[in-house]
Amino acid sequence: MSKAVEGWHIGVLGGSGLYEGIALEEQQVIEVSSPFGEPSGPVTTGRVGNVKLTFMARHGAGHRMSPDTVNYRANIDVMKRCGVTDLLAISAIGSLREELAPGSFVAIDQFIDRTIGSRPSSFFGEGLVAHVALADPVCERLAGLAADAAAAAGATVHRGGTYVAMEGPQFSTRAESRMYREWGGDVIGMTGMPEAKLAREAELPYAMLAMVTDYDSWRDDEAGVETIDILKVLQSNAQMARDTMLHLVTSLPEKREPSPHDTALEYAILTAPEQRDPVLMAKLDAVAGRVLG
C-alpha cells in the first residue's frame, strides 16, 4: 500500500520561540491533544511560500519539562496528526570529540540509546506487535538538506556523528564521559531517544541538527559542564538556528519525492488481524492508520 505524498510539511521539535523571526503566512497557535497523553504544548503552524511548517517546543513553554518527563509519544503522534511529512529536531548537545567545538552544528546520523526502559519507546506493544528497521535511524535526505541550510546560514557544520542519548537530567560523570568516547560516541544529549525511534514508527523521515554547547566532562584539565555556559552558547546560536530554518524551507526541492521512511510500517506489524487489540488500534489511527486500514 503506497502513501499519498503531496508537498513539504516540515515539523520542527526544538526550543520555544524557534519560529520567531520567520515570517509565517497564515500563522496559528493550535492546542493539540493525543491519545498517548499530554504533548509538550500547542503547535505553531504556518507557511513560507509553498512549504508548511509546524513547530513544537519540546520542553514546553518556559522549558518546564525535564528531558525524562517529555511525552515523546504524544509529541510525535501530534506531529503526525498535523499532517507533517518530515520531522526536524533541533537540540543542544555536548561534544565528545575535540574537533566538534562549542558553537558548531552536527547533523546526527547514528544513535546509542542509554534511556532504555526509562521512557516509553514504542507506540506498539501487547495486542499489536511491530518491528521497524532502525539500522539507519536518520533520513539521509532531510539531514543533508538541514546541513546545507546551516552552512548557508554561516554555521560550522559537521556532517554525521553518533549521538549518545543519556537519561539525565544530570550531566555525565567524567568516567561516563570517557566511556562514551570509547564506545564511539561523538556527541551526547538527553532528547534524541526515543524521539528518533518513535518518528520511524510513525513513518516520519527524521533528522537532527544539533548545536554543540560544551565539551561534556572528558577533559580532565577543565571544569565539568555547567548550565550557565550552555545557556550562553544557546543564546548566541539562537539566530543562527532561525536563519537555518529559513534557508531550509526556501531551498527545498519544489516537489517532495517519496522517502523510504514514508512506508516504514509496510511489513513491520506481525500480530494477526484477529488478535489485534481494538483499543490500541484506535489509539494508532494517526501513527499506523495507513497500514491498519
Q: What pLDDT is attached to residue 237?
A: 72
- Residue among 77, 86, 109, 214 flagged as catalytic: 214
Amino acid at 196: A
DSSP 49: T
Q: What pLDDT is attached to residue 16?
A: 61
Sole residue written with cell 526550543: 15
Higher pLDDT, 112 or 17: 112
Record the pTM: 0.93
pLDDT band at 287; cut points 50, 70, 90: very high
- As a whole-number percent, the residues of the chain with pLDDT over 90 amount to 81
Q: pLDDT of 40-76, one tens digit each?
A: 999 999 999 999 999 999 999 888 999 999 999 999 9
Residue 216 falls in the annotated catalytic set = yes
Q: Would you list the DSSP string of 96-141?
A: SSTTS-TT-EEE--EEEE--TTTS---S-BTTB-B----SS-S-HH
Higher pLDDT, 234 or 10: 10
What is the chain's mean pLDDT, rounded? 92
Q: What pLDDT is attached to residue 23?
A: 80
Q: What pLDDT is attached to residue 4?
A: 44
Q: What pLDDT is attached to residue 17?
A: 62
pLDDT band at 1; cut points 50, 70, 90: very low
pLDDT band at 241; cut points 50, 70, 90: confident
Identify the CA nearest to 207 among candidates 164, 168, 160, 240. Answer: 160
Q: What pLDDT is attached to residue 195?
A: 98
Residue 220 falls in the annotated catalytic set = no
pLDDT band at 2; cut points 50, 70, 90: very low
Identify the CA nearest to 14 among candidates 105, 102, 114. Answer: 105
CA distance 241 to 111: 22
Q: pLDDT of 128-139, one tens digit each?
A: 999 999 999 999
Q: What is the mean pLDDT of residues 186-199?
A: 97
Could you confirm whether domain 9-292 is CATH 3.30.360.10?
A: no
- As a whole-number percent, the residues of the chain with pLDDT over 70 amount to 93
Q: What pLDDT is attached to residue 230?
A: 73
Please, is 278 exposed, middle or buried when counting C-beta atoms within 10 Å of its C-beta (0-12, 13-18, 19+)? exposed
Q: pLDDT of 249-282, one tens digit each?
A: 999 999 999 999 999 999 999 999 999 999 999 9
- Residue among 77, 109, 186, 216 flagged as catalytic: 216
pLDDT at 15 over 90: no
